Structure 1
Amino acid sequence: MAASCSKAQSDGVDRSGLSEKEIRIGKGGLRKQILRKGTSWRTPCPGDQVHVCYSGRIEGGARLDSSNERSAALEFKLGQCEVIKGWDEGVATMKRGERAIFMIPSDLAYGEAGSPPLVPPNATLIFDIEMVSWTSVRDLTGDGGVLKKIITEGEGWATPRDADEVLVKYEAMLEDGTVISKSNGDVEFQIGHDSSSEKVHLCPAMSIAAKTMRKGERAELAVKFSYGFRWSRSVPESMELDASADSNLVIQLKLIAWKSVVDVTGDTQVLKKIVRAGEGFDHPDEGSVVKVAYTGKFEDGSIFEKKGSTEEPFEYVALEEQVNEGLDRAILSMRKGEQALVTVRTNSVIGLDDSVVSANSVLSYEVELIDFTKDKPFWKMNTCEKLEACESTKNDGNCLFKKGKFCRALKKYEKAEKYIQFDHCFTDEEKRSANALRLSCYLNNAACKLRLGDYSGATKFCTKALDLDPCNIKALYRRSQAYLKSSDFDEAEGDINKALILQPDNRDVKLVFKELKDKQKEYRVYQAEISRTMLSRMA
């Protein structure tokens, strides 16, 4: 350490006049001139334990302290007011191996009072500082509850996230060195998981710290009592009883690896743990032809379903209710070649016998996505292909509508309409075909919305249809139904009267007209009753 420091002093600090290459730091007048560039892009953060060599002097005056005189680098915590403010601000800009001269104004040093007998009042100080290294220290909780110091840097840039399953080695001890818990080999736990789990985090501090670590990283945690001592069942209770409420912990922690866990539905009902990462970045979407191999198991490990293999995969169309919905949605988040373990709570499962599956059970699936083929995107289609895709998708929606699957039918109609959304390249004949298809999709969407009780949505689609065909009987009929269900009798009457003028013998329109008249009569009786009640109270 001393050898590395000697060079920082050998050049001296008599270069008090900084060149035109100086850098101004902050707004307090601090200036910096780099004599040697650093060897990395990183700089220390507040709280880091930094190691520097330095020498200093008063501008135009006496020589100050030097680390060379102690044959050791100076250590201090950055940003914790352990040194003058100019040092805290200046050293925070340095990279490992960097050497620089800092001109520190008195306001960032000892100010008007100075530091007798060496530093007079209002003195500007000049320091030659070499950044030797630093040890990262992080306050992970913001209240000093868990402080992390990196002992060995990890690989890459990725870190685990909530619900991921991490593999660690650890040793936990009291501040006096008494070991209270130690892993025997590698230990697996789930970050932030509920304490009822078999793989609960061993104590809160370890779960908090693991989310900030990279693969292979070793760290030392300084842990306050409130963030420790919540150990899993594997730790003997006697170890906890020996610790008083004033006890703090020191935990040596190494992150070996982790498995990513994805909350597929956002409500923890369907979780996917990646066992083997897939290729590329693309994944299936609704309507993709998917090739998979999977095995479904109950909680006791017994198999209830097995489909496909690597050699002969099971092929199906995504989100067409060919597999249970929870598994289907998990597969949509997978990439080609990915292997995963999917857990599905039974209230998300469709198509399983309730007498076999209890309400609180969890099903697990071992899944491999072998391959998939996505629909050709509409922007890559020619006009003929767009019209064909729209017609085919609309027909799929019609089949679903007949089966009473109105939500899924609605999605099909909306998808169908998107194929012909941009028709500026269509010929006149193709535009007429596209408008006919678009009109049909609007009408069918309105029918779905009526069945689902979304009357404002039904009104919207009927209005779109009438913009294309102002005399369309179906659009007037369905919009009048929506208005009637919403008790908007005046608007309903306008649509019904127009429909009767166009087709006076239309039986369905006549039935709605009769229903409207009955509703209006009921409403008039209701209004009369309200008026009588108000008058009687006034009397």
Structure 2
Amino acid sequence: MDDIPTTSLGGEGDEGPDDEGEVDVDEVGKEIDIAKDGGIVKKILVEGAGWEKPEKGDKVEVHYVGTLASDGSVFDSSRERGEPFSFALGTGSVIKGWDVGVATMKKGEKAVLTCQPGYAYGAAGSPPKIPADATLNFEVELLGWRSVKDISGDGGVVKTIIKEGDGYQKPADRDEVLVRYAVLVKGSDAVVAASPESGVDFTLRDGHLLKAFGVALKTMRKGEEVALDISPAYGPIVAGEGGVPADTPLQAELVLLSWKKVEDLSQDGGVIKKTLHVPEGWEMPNAGARVRVRYTLRTADGVLVEERSEGNELEFVVDEEEVVEGLDLGVSRMKLNEKAELTVAPAYAFRDQEKKLKLGMVPPGATLIYTIELVHLQKAKESWELTDEEKVAAASAAKDAGNAAFKAGRWARAAKKYKAATDAVSYDDKFTEDLKRQAREVKKSANLNLAAVHLKTGAWREARDVCNKVLEKTSGHPKALYRRAQAHMAAGDYVEAEVDIKAALQLEPGNRDVRALHARFRKESAAASAKEAQFFSKAFQRLARKPDPNPTPVPAANGAPPAAEGVATASGVSGEHAAVDTAAAGGDVEMGEAAGEAGGRAAGLIQHV
């Protein structure tokens, strides 16, 4: 009865559990109701290996022995035949009890599946060996499976895993992959295109030969081997390339040999890192770490301009601007003993300056390429390793570095250093009173300067929020009020700005900066109020158009009579009722409310400025 397990009667067993994989079925010897209705009971005899389980569509391979629960008689056995049985999981090609039960098993696991009739052969049975309404026991051993996935989502690229890859990482668009492949016309044994045995490399987003390769490689791990079924839509990138026919179903064998990770460290293409060698460890530099590197430095056209080899390494402190920004950033993202290639755009190197190095001249606007190895790393102390005195000293040093960057107009670096200053002393509960006082002064100064940076860069909300932090600790701080007022004005919040300006003037009536801001406030708020008032005046004029003397009655909802003559509608209201009447006419309530509120706000500004 070789075909018994492959017969699916459906029937009572069609309504199985929605998500079989969530049932806890991994305890040896324990009977588990995996269908959650008593229809399938599983008892593990031998625990499987690992954590992975087959998924829908996978081609699983099993050995089994089937017996009648009523008398224990064997009705079928793959072991007696000496040949494993394989089927596509979850596709209805076997009884429901198998589709559900095998999906809960790990590789090498052996279990007994007790299947009630609704999950087996139902009322019909499978004569002559399986009677009607029979409960069956299957001793099943999951030998393994091949993962079969529609990875394109439209059936255009179906992947079957021949050999699992290593690890968990998969290549991304920017990465450079090394692959080996062979391509055949579907149904033929003749290879129409193949790579060298050593493989070919290319950038994944640029693609190579077949569109299907780009789809498949993003799902593969290092060392993974797959077979692909490819529809014509995922065939050659360029018609006829490599001798591969277009508009023809294809098959391919593809191996991901390795790849080089490529990262955009600066997020704008200015510093690109390609990993050439991945070390075993994970140690990386932190801000303030002392490092030594070996490298060769070339311009983009291949001219060697500098070389640092063994015994002549370059040593510097990370994040202290001792080297060009691109090199600093690149090394900060390397592991100890890692080798990488850094491509550094002019904005992160010498910009438009000409630079003479030991082996050559770097022309203005040159892109640099470092082939670099991080050979020594001495990490700076982390914050939790510092004494309280060291934390305050580190905060003060970071604030000073921020001031230097601010004076040079380097807003991003200044903001980074001011943030580092406040972070260094953010937890000061256990400080002595003297250290607490010093920490408060550093945080206050750093936050006020950070607010100034945000004002320079147009980050009005961030500037306001930082000033709020200062005012939470020192409610009447003139400079914090002054800078928050600047942020409010820039954002058009003139009412809030006036409150802060008046408060600052009460504290320091002679402060020239605040007085100048007050004068600018009066001018800008008056102009804004006049503009706003003009806008809403025109809006109200449109709303106040005379009503049609002979309007056509419009029936109300639910058969109610039309509105009586003389009842106000949105087309005949004055400005003070605009919000309500706009809504009554079926318009936008929020717009109406905004009109009323903004009109009042404009009038208010005109009065108090």
Common topology (TM > 0.5): yes
Q: 1:398, CA displacement in angstroms?
A: 1.4
The amino acid that maps onto 2:330 is: A
Residue pair 2:193, 2:242 contacting (<8 A) in 1 also: no
CA distance in 2, matches of 1:498, 1:215: 65
What SS does the corresponding residue of 2:114 show, helix, strand or coil?
A: strand
Gaps of 5+ in 1: 1-18, 195-199
Q: Distance in 1 between matches of 2:363 and 2:44?
A: 70
Q: Is the 8 A contact 1:189 1:202 kept in 2?
A: no
Shift of 1:335: 0.9
Residue 207 of structure 1 aligns with which residue? 214
Greater CA drift, 458-467 or 527-536: 527-536
Q: 1:428 to 1:256 in 2, by over 3 A?
A: closer
CA distance in 2, matches of 1:457, 1:496: 19
Query: Hey, what's the Cα distance between the residues in 2 that align with 1:491 and 1:37?
Result: 69
Contact between 2:484 and 2:497, CA under 8 Å: does it hold in 1? Answer: yes
> What is the correspondence of 1:227-306 to structure 2 with a 5 Å cutoff?
227-230=234-237, 237=241, 239-240=243-244, 243=245, 245=247, 247-266=248-267, 270-278=271-279, 280-303=281-304, 305-306=305-306
Q: Is the 8 A contact 2:165 2:225 kept in 1?
A: yes
SS in 2 for 1:450: helix
- Corresponding position of 1:222: 229
Task: Quote how far apart the aligned CAs of 1:382 are.
Answer: 1.9
CA, structure 1 residues 345+84, in 2 after alignment: closer, same or farther (shift >3 Å)? farther
**What is the rounded CA distance, in whole Å, between the counterparts of 1:66 and 1:535 in structure 2?**
88
CA contact 2:294–2:308 (8 Å) conserved in 1 = yes
How far is the alpha carbon of 1:297 from its aligned partner? 3.2
Please tell me whether residue 189 in structure 1 is matched to residue 176 in structure 2: no
Q: CA distance change for structure 1 residues 413 and 295 in 2, over 3 Å: closer, same or farther? A: same
Q: Which amino acid aligns with 2:447?
A: Y
Q: Which has the higher contact order (CA 8 A, sep 6+)?
A: 1
Q: CA deviation at 1:390?
A: 1.7
Counterpart CA distance in 2 for 1:460 and 1:40 is 50
What amino acid maps onto 1:272 in structure 2? Answer: K
Q: Does 1:340 align with 2:350?
A: no
Matched residue, 1:419 = 424
Assess, with a 3 A threshold, how the Cα gap between structure 1 residues 33 and 520 changes in structure 2: closer, same or farther: closer
Q: 1:268 to 1:249 in 2, by over 3 A?
A: farther
- Alpha-carbon offset, residue 525 of structure 1: 6.2
Taking a change above 3 Å as real, the CA distance of residues 177 and 287 of structure 1, as seen in their structure-2 partners, is same
The worse-fitting range, judged by mean Cα deviation, of 495-504 and 327-336 is 495-504
- 5+ unaligned residues in a row in structure 2: which ranges? 1-27, 355-361, 546-609
What residue is the counterpart of 1:52 in the other structure?
Answer: 62
Q: Could you tell me how far 1:280 is from its partner in structure 2?
A: 2.7
Q: Is the 8 A contact 1:106 1:123 kept in 2?
A: yes
Shift, 1:470, TM fit = 4.4
Residues 192, 207 of structure 1: 8 Å contact kept: yes
Aligned to 2:137: 126
Q: Could you say which residue in structure 2 is the equivalent of 1:407?
A: 412
Residues 390 and 132 of structure 1, relative CA distance in 2, 3 Å threshold: closer
Q: 1:518 to 1:112 in 2, by over 3 A?
A: same
| Partner Cα separation in structure 2 for residue 100 and residue 531 of structure 1 | 78
What is the CA–CA distance in structure 2 between the aligned matches of 1:506 and 1:514, rounded to whole Å? 13
TM-score (normalizing by structure 2): 0.72
Contact conserved, 1:99 with 1:129, CA < 8 A, in 2? yes
Query: TM-score if structure 1 supplies the norm length?
Result: 0.80
Among residues 378, 385, 399, which one is paired with 2:383 in the alignment? 378
Q: What amino acid sits opposite 2:369 in the alignment?
A: S
Cα deviation, 1:118-158, whole Å, max 9, x if unaligned, reads 43332223334444444443333344333333334445555
Residue 460 of structure 1, CA deviation = 3.4
1:495-529 C-alpha deviation (Å, 9 max, x unpaired): 44444444444433433343344445556766787
Aligned to 1:353: 352
Q: Distance in 2 between matches of 1:405 and 1:134?
A: 58
Q: Distance in 1 between matches of 2:246 and 2:486?
A: 72
Distance 1:128 1:515, change over 3 A: closer
Range with bigger deviation, 460-469 or 220-229: 460-469
Which SS does the other structure have where 1:31 is aligned?
strand
- Helix, strand or coil for the counterpart of 2:236? coil
The residue identity in structure 2 corresponding to 1:230 is I
Q: Deviations over 1:194-235 (max 9, x none)?
A: 2xxxxx333233333334444444333222222233369xxx
Q: Is 2:35 the partner of 1:26? A: yes
Deviation (angstroms), 1:389: 1.5
2:448 aligns to what SS in structure 1? Answer: helix
What amino acid does structure 1 have at the position aligned with 2:243?
M
Instruction: Note the 1:426-505 alignment, pairs <5 A.
Output: 426-505=431-510
CA distance 1:485–1:146, change in 2 (3 Å): closer
Other structure's SS at 1:448 match: helix
Give the 5 Å matches for 1:72-221. 72-156=83-167, 158-174=169-185, 175-190=187-202, 192-194=204-206, 200-221=207-228
Q: Give the letter for the 2:124 counterpart.
A: A
Q: Distance in 2 between matches of 1:20 and 1:472?
A: 72
Summarize deviations over 1:457-506 as a string: whole Å, max 9, x none.
Answer: 33333343344444544334434444444454454444444444444444
CA 203–468 in structure 1, closer or farther in 2 if over 3 Å, else same: same
1:11 counterpart residue number: none
Q: How far is 1:369 from its partner?
A: 2.0
CA contact (8 A) 1:165 1:188 kept: no
The 1:535/1:53 distance shift into structure 2, 3 A limit, reads closer
Q: For the residues of structure 1 that align with 2:82 and 2:467, how far apart are their CA atoms?
A: 86
Cα distance between partner residues in 2 of 1:185 and 1:23 = 49
In structure 1, distance between residues paired with 2:105 and 2:52: 8
Whole-angstrom distance in 2 between the partners of 1:115 and 1:342: 68
- Root-mean-square deviation over aligned CA pairs: 3.8
State the alpha-carbon separation in 2 of the partners of residues 531 and 87 from structure 1.
72
